[in-house]
Structure 1
Amino acid sequence: MISPSMEKQLQELLDKQALYELICAYCNAADRHDHDKMRALYHEDAIDDHGHYSKGPAKDFIDKLPQIQAAMEILHHNVTTVNLKLDGDKAEGEVYIIAFHKVREGERSYDMLIGGRYFDKYEKRDGVWKFSYRSIVADWAYPQDPSAVRMDHPMLTGAYIGKPGPVDPSYAFFSLFQRGQR
């Protein structure tokens, strides 16, 4: 028999795990340019604030992603510290990230390493946690122009090479992780 306080703690752990998986799914969707998956992570009426890229309905931001990501040869989001607070079917999160971008503009290619945080609001509707509001906060940026990324280094010989979109080797390797699915 589980006590009511233990049941409450267990539910909080389950909710926090679901939120953590949501946060990680966002990184995967962004890095793989998986816009269907990205759309599934937000409530229909959610707001996303990505600075000059988009500020408003999350669906508008996701609609712009193909254009935003077109120049990004590499996207690599890494979640570090995750602070979550729950209040029933609502929650807030301050999520620290380090995000690497390799950008190509014509013949020019540069790198941008950004340290920042997401300020998130989440809601559990019909038993499913999704973003209701997400805002990016930049704490620091480290540009490298021209790009210092070298995928032809001998240490990488024979390794899978990550790529944006459905050609990423993860889609051929995994059977349980499917494009467009949470």
Structure 2
Amino acid sequence: MEGTLMDDIQTLLDREQIRDCIARLARGEDRRDAELIKCCYWQEAKLDFGIFTGSFAEYLAWVVPGSPAVPLTLHTLGQSLIELHADSAAVETHVTSYHRIDMGEQHRDVVIGGRYLDRLEQRGAEWRIVQRTMIYDWVSDYGQSADWSKGLMGTPFKTKHSVGAARGDFSETFFKQLNTG
């Protein structure tokens, strides 16, 4: 059984790198951060979201800067089933995605549940997505969005950084503080 422990450790590392890639991508999409998104896909990647199908370059142009009618998204990832095959992996990840939709006079909150079906390849020591397909399982329209200028449940916010945004909110400052400290 020589090498079994090292094989198991490498498998754990590969799985964690795959999960990290998928999590970084969700953050990149929510932030409309082209550089972060680029680090998660190989250039020849193909994508199929049902409402968008195309190359990685076409996808990047579509998702960044994103639709002005969707000023805010939040992708929350669930479990990932990862099947490793040498230098490739098949991965299914559950996702719940929140979308604030600008309807003109008001914003609406829409939540979609589904699964990402990803094929990743490892090149060198790096895992990235080479193919992504989105499967939609459910959608809920929660109606008019909260008016954050009034605080939370009638209590005003005491800080300016309490409400998130696609770009320029406190999470960017938070990570910069950690990286420069």
Q: TM-score when scaled to structure 2?
A: 0.88
Counterparts in 2 of 1:32-181, with a 5 A limit? 32-52=31-51, 54-66=52-64, 68-145=66-143, 147-151=144-148, 152-153=151-152, 154=155, 156-158=157-159, 160-165=162-167, 167-175=168-176, 176=178
| Cα-to-partner distance string for 1:86-144 (whole Å, 9 max, x where unaligned) | 00110010000111111103224211111100000000012210000011111000012
Determine the C-alpha separation between the residues in 2 that align with 1:33 and 1:135: 19
> What's the RMSD between the two structures over aligned residues?
2.0
Runs of 4+ in 1 over 3 A off after TM superposition: 66-69
Q: CA deviation at 1:69?
A: 3.3
Determine the C-alpha separation between the residues in 1 that align with 2:26 and 2:133: 14
Determine the C-alpha separation between the residues in 2 that align with 1:33 and 1:129: 21
Question: Quick check: 2:71–2:102 contact (8 Å CA) kept in 1?
Answer: yes
Q: CA deviation at 1:77?
A: 0.7
Instruction: Say which SS state the counterpart of residue 68 (structure 1) adopts.
Output: coil
Q: TM-score when scaled to structure 1?
A: 0.87
Total equivalences in the alignment: 174
Q: CA deviation at 1:66?
A: 3.2
Question: Quick check: 2:87–2:123 contact (8 Å CA) kept in 1?
Answer: yes
In structure 2, stretches of 5+ residues that fail to align are: none
Which structure has the higher relative contact order (CA within 8 Å, separation 6+)? 1
Instruction: Say which SS state the counterpart of residue 71 (structure 2) adopts.
Output: strand
Q: Which residue of 1 is the match for residue 16 of structure 2?
A: 17
